[in-house]
Amino acid sequence: MPPACLPAPMRILALLLLLLASPAAAQVCAPRALPPVNSCSGDTRVSLAIVGDVLLHRALQWRGYARGFDTIWGAATPLLQAADLTIANLEGPTAAGFTQNGRRVADPGPTLDDEVYTGYPRFNYHPVVLRELRAAGVDIVTTANNHALDRGAAGLDATLAAIDRAGLTQVGAVTGGASRFAAQRIRTAAGPLSLIACTFGTNGIADPRGQVLRCYDDRAQLLRLVAEEAESGAGVLVLPHWGPEYVLTPDAQQRRLARELVAAGAMAVVGTHPHVPQPWEMLTGAQGTVPVIYSTGNFVAAQPPLERATSLLAWLEVCPGPRAPRIAGAGFVPLQMEFEGADPSLTLPRPGMSPRAEAGHALLARLIPGHDLTAMVECRGSGSADSGLSQRFIFDR
């Protein structure tokens, strides 16, 4: 992905070189139709794939460092690569050489050494994770979450630098001294998009340089930022990290903030943090009908209970609207972590696959009726030059 800091001509050149140099994916999978949300001006569509928490507990780090993280999330790669823009929540730092107490030491390399690279409760991942997310098709990671400061302010700076080196873009946190009240702006075929990410908190870890945007403590500034981006003609996607953990319904704080975000001009709201899926709501705002996805659940995590292992990939299509881009259609592809033997990995559960897959489908059908895209997903490719990876966007910041 062309770095945000490049001048416009250089960004365009970098994008063209990327497209020419990138090999075609072996296979891409995408839904052939979506449940409609809004009417559109013309036939232009830009697809967004949004997954939840990349939460690498010890078992996942062990496997990923030894065998590659594609052995964990590879089942979703054909979907991640098919979307025009793919977003995941990076739930933890990637701060090479930083210990839990913030000391700098010699980096041990990609291994779970329990000093630099650690699991719960204070995570830190080797930056190889970022490169493997990029290879899987992820374009943007959100960095506003409760584990953002697990290696302190300097560790967050190191994480943001590692994200940039990996060719990813991020939203939600900033280097020390920069303003956290900022959106990630993207130009697409459907019009400009502005992405904004925030978190409920950072697990009590101090944020002395004000690097992480807060959903509630910074509420007034957050709503002002959404309104300013919407007034500029952008479709505003808000990505809040919010809500109580392991609860299948959004709480009053989530619902209230969702309504305020929609009233301020949000095009869509897609949340993370509960580690379980939560229901969707369709609210009415300036951009017409606005999907609010309270929680996608995890993307990958070592949390075996069914409700924590079952999650979704949200698939949204953006189209030109009367004043700004809006959501044309919205649905989801079910995801589920499996823990057979010593090899936890992500699966795409289908009816009839197993009793656990059936139970996961039933859970999602109860929470989010009418939006399951399982029967609509079509796959094509196998080295074909026509991979469908159009990547019709350029980062402006």
Say if residues 314 and 327 touch (Cβ distance below 8 Å): no
Structural tokens at position 141 = 């990671």
Strands 140-142 and 169-171: parallel
Amino acid at 129: V
Structural tokens at position 65 = 């460092």
pLDDT for position 343: 84
Structural tokens at position 106 = 């010699």
Which residues lie closer than 8 Å to 384 by C-beta, 6 or more apart?
24
Per the listing, tokens 């959404």 go with: 226
Using only C-alpha atoms, what is the Rg of the chain? 19
Alpha-carbon distance of 215 to 258, in angstroms, equals 11
pLDDT for position 393: 53
Amino acid at 168: L
- Largest Cα span, the chain: 56
Question: What is the value of pTM for the model shown?
Answer: 0.91
Alpha-carbon distance of 292 to 271, in angstroms, equals 8
Set out the domains of the chain in order of their start, with CATH numbers.
25-395 (3.60.21)
Alpha-carbon distance of 151 to 216, in angstroms, equals 23
Amino acid at 319: C
The region, left, alpha or beta by phi > 0 then psi within -120 to 50, assigned to residue 172 is: left
Q: What 8-state DSSP symbol labels residue 97?
A: T
Alpha-carbon distance of 31 to 26, in angstroms, equals 17
pLDDT for position 395: 64
Alpha-carbon distance of 372 to 348, in angstroms, equals 12
pLDDT for position 351: 86
Within the chain, which residues score under 50 in pLDDT? Answer: 1-25, 383-392
